[in-house]
Amino acid sequence: MNHDELVRRLKEEDPVRLRWLHDEGDRVRREHVGDEVYLRGLLELSNYCVRRCGYCGINAGNSELRRYRMTHEEIRAGARLAKELGYGTVVMQAGEDFGLTREFICEAIRIVKGETGGAVTLSLGERNEDELLAWHEAGADRYLMRFETSNRPLYDRIHPPLRGERSDRQALLIKLREMGYEVGSGFLVGIPGQTYDDLARDLELLKELDLDMVGIGPYIMHPRTALAETAARFHREAGAQQVPNTSEFSLTTLALVRLLLPDTNIPSTTALSTIDSHGREHGLSCGANVIMPNLTPPEYRELYEIYPGKSCLQEAKDFHLQLELMIAGLGRSLGKGPGHSPRFRKRAGV
Ligand code: 5AD
């Protein structure tokens, strides 16, 4: 698909052709990564963040938010829960928190590996190369970092630089791969000011970066952010070219991701299920093959509110039972083991 064709598909409004595209995402998913749905246990280690991202509720400027950082013992308990529920991967995510030192994370990785024997994914933002290398050596398998948008002026607007240093997530993603990580990235759908042309470019960039995992989800406005103030103006400026942040449009984008990168792992994201009560199933039916159930201790979950309505306060075990039923209802099965992407397996020979 060339650029113009991507734009045309993104602008598609005909319900029959939209349905065809969503089904095509599902078909390509089945053909390339099969019917297994892999579950990744998510631990939100800390809501401290040095950044002031215009979209994100845990940005440093949100002074109303009580901040927390999990202890190694809490991380160990989370890992045990993941093991008990049969999850082959634990994802440790946090704001960009330099209180999570290199050593603290090395030890957390060893704890999780020791408890689960499974894969470890990190999603800790833009950290320096020494840290990223040390964490890979300590046993971390994967790293997730969305580029958020490929439009550089838009990116700079919503993701201000830190201490005057230019943020270059794309360069960092390439380095992560060179270090041996299985690498994931993605973008937001429907950022105020984001156009169809931008989104087509976002899709093309996924392909250029040759990713193993791709996470995308709708932008959800958070009141305590800079974008909440400026959204209306940016929307106006983009006019008819502004992309929507609806569930339907996110699913169309998701299906296109699957068509472009058939053998990657693609989660059905929490953001999608926040705006659509059946978002998880819908995502799984348009190309996704991964779900990331939240294993963060309940008392911290509502503090990790990157967007409103995110925190699912349901107990991990109840949620798991519900997921099992949903997955069986779709005629799919639970993935066993670490669930590396076929793309990574080919590259790494595992
Ligand atoms: N709406 C939707 N997704 C968001 N993220 C951050 N803030 C929001 C928001 N308001 C996403 C970003 C980030 C990921 C961890 O969560 O894409 O990379």
Residue 311 reports pLDDT greater than 80: no
At residue 104, the pLDDT reads 98
At residue 30, the pLDDT reads 98
The lowest-confidence range among 7-21, 70-84, 152-166 is 152-166
The rounded Å distance from CA 224 to ligand 1 centre is: 14
Residue 91 reports pLDDT greater than 80: yes
Which atom in ligand 1 lies closest to the alpha carbon of residue 307? 10
At residue 123, the pLDDT reads 98
Please report which confidence band the pLDDT of residue 172 belongs to, taking 50, 70 and 90 as the band edges.
very high
Which atom in ligand 1 lies closest to the alpha carbon of residue 145? 18
What is the C-alpha to C-alpha distance for residues 102 and 249, in angstroms, rounded to an integer? 39
At residue 312, the pLDDT reads 76
For the chain, the helix, strand and coil percentages under 3-state DSSP, each to the nearest 5:
45, 15, 40
At residue 164, the pLDDT reads 84
Query: What is the mean pLDDT of the segment spanning 217-239?
Result: 96
Cβ–ligand 1 distance for 135 under 6 Å, the answer no
The rounded Å distance from CA 146 to ligand 1 centre is: 9
The rounded Å distance from CA 216 to ligand 1 centre is: 9
Backbone angles phi, psi at 91, to 5 degrees: -105, 125
What is the C-alpha to C-alpha distance for residues 221 and 56, in angstroms, rounded to an integer? 8
At residue 347, the pLDDT reads 87
Cβ–ligand 1 distance for 307 under 6 Å, the answer yes
The rounded Å distance from CA 189 to ligand 1 centre is: 10
- The per-residue pLDDT for range 105-134, each reduced to its tens digit, is 999 999 999 999 999 999 999 999 999 999
At residue 222, the pLDDT reads 97
Query: What is the mean pLDDT of the segment spanning 293-299?
Result: 96
The residue whose C-alpha atom lies closest to atom 3 belonging to ligand 1 is: 219
Find the helix packing angle between 102-116 and 129-137, rounded to 10°.
20
The rounded Å distance from CA 188 to ligand 1 centre is: 7
Burial 193-219 (b: 16+ CB within 10 A, else e): bbbbbbbbbbbbbbeebebbbbbbbbb
Residue 22 reports pLDDT greater than 90: yes
**Which residue among 40, 56, 305 is best mutated to probe the pocket of ligand 1, counting the most ligand atoms within 8 A of its Cβ?**
56
Cβ–ligand 1 distance for 42 under 6 Å, the answer no
Average pLDDT, the chain: 96
Please report which confidence band the pLDDT of residue 21 belongs to, taking 50, 70 and 90 as the band edges.
very high
Query: What is the mean pLDDT of the segment spanning 318-335?
Result: 97
Which atom in ligand 1 lies closest to the alpha carbon of residue 227? 10
Cβ–ligand 1 distance for 217 under 6 Å, the answer yes
Residue 197 reports pLDDT greater than 90: yes
The residue whose C-alpha atom lies closest to atom 6 belonging to ligand 1 is: 56
How much is the pTM?
0.98
Of residues 343 and 251, the one with the higher pLDDT is 251
Cβ–ligand 1 distance for 56 under 6 Å, the answer yes
Which atom in ligand 1 lies closest to the alpha carbon of residue 188? 17
**Which residue among 42, 273, 307 is best mutated to probe the pocket of ligand 1, counting the most ligand atoms within 8 A of its Cβ?**
307
Query: What is the mean pLDDT of the segment spanning 200-210?
Result: 97
Residue 149 reports pLDDT greater than 90: yes
Rounding to the nearest 10 degrees, give the CA dihedral for residues 311, 55, 143, 149: 140
